[in-house]
Each structure stands twice: as C-alpha cells, then as structure tokens.
Amino acid sequence: MKIFDELDPLDPHGSVVTVGVYDGVHLGHQHTLRQVIADAASHGRRSVVATFDRHPAEVLRPESAPLMLCNLEQRLELFESLGIDVAAVIPFNKERSGESAETFIEEILVGQLGAGKIIVGDNFRFGHDRKGDVALLRREGERLGFDVEGVELDARDGDIVSSTRIRTLIRDGQVGAAADLLGRVHEVCGVVARGDGRGGTELGYPTANLLTQDGLAIPGVGIYAGWYRDEKIGSVPAAISVGRRPTFYDKAEPLIEAHLLDFDGDLYERTARVSFLDFLRDEERFDGVDALKAQMGLDVEGARDLCRSRSDLAPNKG
C-alpha cells in the first residue's frame, strides 16, 4: 500500500475514494472499504482511503474526545491488510476544522486524490460545522465530475456496528463481544517498562508491564485471556491483568500486565502489543500472597484453555 504524498497528486478521476477516521476499522468500516476495493478493481481505478492523523474531536472538543480503538499505525496496517492501494493521512488542525465541505472535496478529494467516485457510509458528515453529507457530495459530483455512493450501515444484533458501540463494550470488559464487531481481537500498543518486580520474584508469575500512549481504549479493570506479541518472539498466549493491584496498593492507576505462558526472557523496552480475547474475572483483593498465587494459577490455566480453543483469533506474528 502506498502512503499518499501531497507533492505528487494522483491522476484525475483515477481513484475510488472513501474518507473518514475509520477508528477501529471494524466490520462496518470493512463493509464500506471492500466496496471501495471492488468498485476500483472493476473499473480499473485505484482504491484510496483519506483518513486523518487524529480524531477531529481532539481538536474541536478535546475534553470529550473519544478514546481511540487503534492508533494511526494500526489503522494503516488494517487498510493494507484489506487490500487498499493508497492511504492519504490528512493532518487535522484548527485550520482544517474551519474548511468548508466544498473546499475539502474540490482541493483534497478531487484535486489531490483524483476522485472519480466517492463511497462513504450514508450517515457520513464532514467539513465545517459538519455541513457535508452524501447529498452535498452528489451535488458537487455533478459539478466536478465524480460519482457518489452512500453505503447502508452494517448492523449486528439489531444495532449499528459503530466505533462508539465497540468502545463501550471494551470499557465494560466485554472484549469478546467487541471482537465480534471488530472482526478480530482488540489490541493495544505500547512499550514494555519496568514495574515493581513483584510478579516474578514474589508471586512466581513475571509480567510484561505495557505503557501505552494516552487516549487509547483500554479494557475495564479485570483479568483477561489474550496474547502478547512483539517483532522478536511473535505472538504468545498470556494471562493479562488490567488493574490497580488491590492486594498490595490502596490506590493505584490501572496497569496492563501480561504474564506470557511458557516464556522466560527479558522483554524490557520492547515495542509490543497486547490483545484481549476474553474476560476471565473481576479484579479482587486477596487476604495474602498465597491466596493470590493460587488464583493466578487458575487464571493462567483459564487463559491457556481459551487461547488454545480460539487460536484462530491469535494476532499475526511479529
């Protein structure tokens, strides 16, 4: 997949373009993206995604901006995995937020990305004050010479598949239900950092403590089954705690700790990803270390069984 360079505009009318944040690249998004890819292939055009470097709400209303289901690197990886030809990452800032929908269409979608057709969800809104919609795209298409298709939104279990719906599931610890809507397990990126060292020396279950960037959707406090992966060791089943460690601390910020099953090695400072297959139990305070260790043993076996039974959902290695 090519990353678009604004210094090298694409040839006129040679692209089927879709535009949006596409946070999570969930099944609803994939439905639209596959239509873009199929339409482009059938008409000898390139498939193009125009996305933004951040969620517009981070600029327009930062105090209530949503937590992101994936970072930009993950979004681009997912676009490429679907077969998108070109991704254009558009900086979103105060200046962009004041741009009219008509200007965005003419200068970016047509002028730079060479749109011969634009495909978006039928509820898509864009431009200053969100005045742009499918109807406006069609009017501009008549003026500028491109076709428009509004895609009916994908629904599962009686409700629209949306990033907002998935964020709520993840917040509530329902990572299995979130995976059903994402089409894959939810995964967060970060760097393995040193913790207090208690997991290995005192408890016998060493953990990789993942420090993530602010603004990512982290599952609610609890114990989970899932996988850890990095470029060196690939994907490894793990028992994962998202918790405040109440047996040892009265107050602490939630920390992601992954105990890798059947692994012994140094992971510090590695860029890594932790994915969440299913919820095992709530976090709880134990009377002592022995009781905690006994429960951790059960958690490990529970994670092992779940990861083995759903190995088809294990993230790609590396």
Question: Where does the chain show beta strands of DSSP type E?
Answer: 2-3, 15-19, 46-52, 86-90, 115-121, 147-151, 155-156, 159-160, 186-193, 208-211, 222-230, 234-243, 255-260, 271-281
| Top-level class of domain 186-313 | mainly beta
| Integer CA distances (angstroms), 81 to 78, 160, 307, in order | 5, 24, 23
Among 140, 149, 187, 257, which one carries the catalytic annotation? 257
Question: Mean per-residue pLDDT for 119-130?
Answer: 93
pTM exceeding 0.75: yes
| Average per-residue pLDDT for the chain | 92
pLDDT at 246 over 60: no
Residues 6+ apart with CB under 8 A from 150: 119, 120, 121, 122, 124, 134
Kindly report, residue by residue over 171-194, the tens digit of the pLDDT: 999 999 999 999 999 999 999 998
d(CA 15, CA 2): 13
Q: Which residue has the tokens 């289901």?
A: 69
Question: Mean per-residue pLDDT for 10-22?
Answer: 96
Do residues 153 and 28 touch, judged by C-beta distance below 8 A? yes
- Position 6 scores a pLDDT of 74
d(CA 258, CA 274): 8
- The fraction of the chain above a pLDDT of 90, given in percent, is 81
Question: Which pLDDT band holds residue 199 (cuts at 50, 70, 90)?
Answer: low
pLDDT at 244 over 80: no
Kindly report, residue by residue over 127-158, the tens digit of the pLDDT: 998 999 999 999 999 999 999 999 999 888 88
- Position 253 scores a pLDDT of 61
- Domain 2-159, CATH number (from 1.10.10.2160, 3.30.413.10, 3.40.50.620, 3.40.190.10): 3.40.50.620
Domain ranges within the chain, ordered by starting residue = 2-159, 186-313
What radius of gyration do the chain's Cα atoms show?
22
Q: Tell me whether strands 46-52 and 222-230 are parallel, antiparallel or unpaired.
A: unpaired
Fold equal for 2-159 and 186-313: no
Residues 6+ apart with CB under 8 A from 220: 170, 171, 172, 173, 242
Residue 23 CB neighbour total at 10 angstroms? 24
**6-10, 19-23, 256-260: least confident range:** 6-10
**86-90, 148-152, 178-182, 202-206: least confident range:** 202-206
- Position 111 scores a pLDDT of 96
d(CA 233, CA 215): 27
Question: Which pLDDT band holds residue 63 (cuts at 50, 70, 90)?
Answer: very high
257 catalytic, yes or no? yes
| Integer CA distances (angstroms), 124 to 19, 29, 45, 151, 302, in order | 9, 12, 23, 10, 42
